Chain A
Amino acid sequence: MSYSVNISVEAPIENQIQEITYDGTEIYQPPLTLSESLTKYAQKIDFSKTSDIDFKKEPGEAIEDNKSDSDSKDAFQSSLWPWDSARNKLRNAFQEVCVLADVLAIAKDKRYMVLDPVQQEPIETKPMVQIYARKKALAGAASVLLTGAERLKTSQNEAARNRTVPDFHIELLRLRQNWRLKKVSNTIIGDLSYRTAGSKYTQTGTFEVTKAEDDDKTNSPPSSPIPGGATTAKTNSALRVSIPSELQGVAYIEVLCQKDQEDLCSVNVNLLGSGPPASNPDMHWQQKLEAAQNVLFCKELFNQLAKEAVQLQAPIPHMVVGNQIMATVFPGIQLIIGLCHSTVGDKKQQNNNSSKTDHDHVLEHSLHQLLREVHHKNTHHPFPHPATGPLGPSKKRMLAGPMAADRYELLEMTKSETLLEQIIKQAQHFFMRLRTEYVLDTIAKEVKDPLISSHWNTLNSPTQSCVKINISTHGYDALCRTPLVIHVGEKSLKCICRDGKVMHMSYEPQELRDLIFCHINQHQILAVQALAKTMGWQFLANSNHLGTGAVEPLGNASSCLLASPTGDRIIAVRCEPQTGIQVCVAHSPRSDFFPSRLVTERKWEHLGGQFRDVRLEKMEGRNFLHKMELLMASLTSSS
């Protein structure tokens, strides 16, 4: 059983403050007497509101309403008799009740007054008006239905006509599958920037997707039959993308490598892209968006390169002029990177340019690759191990603390190669490779006697490749072979010689040429020695750097001395890069002896005689070694 507890709400016992004197004492109002408070509450009763609902609410409301007024009411009603308002209201009520009682008494007798229901006057109905009204209403409804049907019919007809044309929403779905879209109020906005892929380029790549208007559709068929059937299908796309004007057209990064400054002016002509971009409505949205994205990418790439070109401290400063960056790769060789942004209209103009043939597609591709690598690095941070580690710092950086890395190591970690530096290195390597190839090819063409074959490794990096060179003589390759390995770097060559010596060379091609010639000579001498061994000849002496004879412009002459098996014949071979090969033969003892004043006896002839030149060019034999073989054979047999 539940019973409610009465909660009494009382006014605070403290009386209201009437006045505060200057010395701070508070003078309180005397509390109301019982009759005074009864009068006060009675005044608050509003007799005009007597319905049940109001009555329930009243105590709360009335107190609230009147609280503020009560003081003022007290003020001016205090002069009146306190029960005056209550009396007036009661009197009014009494009067009304008396009047009501009188009326009821009279009506009850039914002699003087009768209470009758008041008849409503019937509305006059005119049938014709009703019919007209109904007819009008029906006609309105019919017209609504008819227009609806008409609209359905036209839309169905249109659908039937354009059955081959994809629906706008299906197109939108396809667009959504490949591109980022979002709806902003009533428009569909897409984003073609690479920002989600890690780009930090500030230019936005927003485009707007709209429904292709009908008038465009009707306009397009007359124009489309000229290009061909393929384009008609494209123009009928129900979807239209509008791309900001700065992203319209076609752009690419042009990379040129120039030997001298002669081509400069022709390149300057190539600067284009100031004309108003003409949008091509015939393009399909996919191609249009891809082109725009490419434009954005090229712009970012060029922007980055230009920024780096200005910041980099190069011995020969890089130049950034308009849409071009010029960097010196080697003395006399420039790398020119240009941003070509053209609208479709100028295409013919571009094709006329002859300098287009110099465009280096490989370096352009590398540039694209480099920027994409940067993008990839921006998004693919390594995960920390252990897992509670902070995201961001690389593993190397994390290990820097425990491994007590010094200032230098930490600074090294912060360094990273800029795109421009990397592309310059690639260009340098490209030139080094080209020069090495050229040197090797020309030497192989010039020098017939030892055969020079070069094998380029197929596995290489953009800044490093390797070539293996074999020097051998035709028919004697089993006898002696001089292998060389050349590592082609960015600015230097490293040659690993047959004996394991490592030679470093600069980018000047003459150095490599000299080295190869030096090795050709060495090869000949070594091959003769090897041949002598097989022929049973003795190998007396050998010098790779002979100090005698005329001074060579490059390198030194090398030589060797060979003795026949019986020791009566000696062959001397001298190889010089410049003059070629000299072969001399000495006989001891000489077959004929004439005593002279100095040499009186024949025995002295055993000491060795004078060397006589062999005219190699008159000898039979395919090559030097063959000739030497024949020579040795002839000298051996005669003994």
Chain B
Amino acid sequence: MGTPGTAIDSLNAALKCNIIPNQEYLLQGSVLDQYVEVLLHRLRGLCDNVDSGPESFHDHELCFTLRATNPGAPMVLPLRVRRALDVPDAAWQLRYVGQQELGDKNRPTVVRSSIDMACSSTIVEFLTELGCRVDFEYIARGYMFRKGRMKITVSKIFKMGSMTSKPGEGVEAISQSYLVELSVLAPSGQDAIAEDMRIFAEQLRPLVQLEKIDYKRLGNLP
């Protein structure tokens, strides 16, 4: 029935029809530890389906980089591998996150290309064989919420402890605050959702300021 070519064809067709959600609209902010309860309370009021309490997560992320060897243009390809520590039978996730486009002032959110896929735990060996090197790793633990298509995560970032210990043990928090992210994965060109995100971020305003964070500018800070 199906020739091998059809898979590629259908992928191309899907790309052409623009149904693959490969753009991530993102707003970020942070909240101090002592106020996170207030923020969670507010989110419980705003988001969908919180009758059963917020969904918690506990993830471990490894960030790999693949450096291209051609001398003309040194290219660094970042790849993220993430796994859920609290759900042992969940699939691992390999994710590519592209350069973020801040855009002008009229654009309410950061837009970056994001391609993710589920994979098994052998992805780490596979990437190592490919020549990727672990750049850094961290553990994120917190809560996630949903509002329509928007996903809100409130997470604490932990530094990995000594390499010998198992992940999840001997970790130390990186800062005294929680990272708050508001993101939507959508096919490119759906800028209407960014406006919804801006309105939602507006509703969290006094507690947390969700903004377009420019990492390049952050890098210049002492």
Contacts and interface: CB of A to CB of B under 8 A. Distances in A.
Contacts of B30: none
A94 interface: no
Contacts of B61: 386, 388
A299 B55 CA distance: 34
Q: Is the interface of A mostly helix, strand, loop or mixed?
A: loop
Given A401-B117, A402-B120, A386 B49 contact: no
Given A380-B49, A398-B118, A387 B153 contact: yes
B87 interface: yes
Interface stretch (A62-70, A389-397, A479-487): A389-397
B49 A389 contact: no
A402 B149 contact: no
A242 B140 CA distance: 52
B86 interface: yes
Nearest to B184: A391
B144 A399 contact: no
Interface string B146-189: 10010101010000000000000000000000000000010000
A379 interface: yes
Interface in B80-120: 80, 82-84, 86-87, 90-93, 95, 116-120
Interface string B9-43: 00000000000010000000000000000000000
Contacts of B80: 388
Contact of B86 (A385, A388, A398, A402): A385
Given A381-B146, A383-B146, A402-B92, A391 B57 contact: no
Contact of A386 (B90, B146, B151): B90
Contacts of B118: 389, 398-402
Nearest to A397: B118
Given A379-B49, A380-B49, A391-B149, A386 B120 contact: no
A388 B185 CA distance: 10
Contacts of B91: 398-399, 401-402
A213 B151 CA distance: 47
A388 B92 CA distance: 11
Contact of B119 (A390, A395, A402): A402
A390 B84 contact: no
A399 B121 CA distance: 12
B135 interface: no
A363 B95 CA distance: 47
Interface of B: 21, 48-49, 55, 57, 59, 61, 80, 82-84, 86-87, 90-93, 95, 116-120, 140, 142, 144, 146, 149, 151, 153, 155, 185
**A-B complex: 3 closest residue pairs judged by Cβ atoms:** A385-B84, A402-B120, A386-B82
Given A391-B146, A402-B92, 19 more contacts: A379-B48, A379-B49, A383-B57, A383-B144, A385-B84, A385-B86, A385-B87, A386-B61, A386-B92, A387-B59, A387-B155, A391-B149, A391-B151, A391-B185, A398-B90, A399-B90, A401-B91, A401-B119, A403-B120
Interface of A: 379-381, 383, 385-391, 395, 398-403
8 contacts: A379-B48, A383-B57, A385-B59, A385-B90, A386-B92, A387-B142, A388-B82, A390-B116
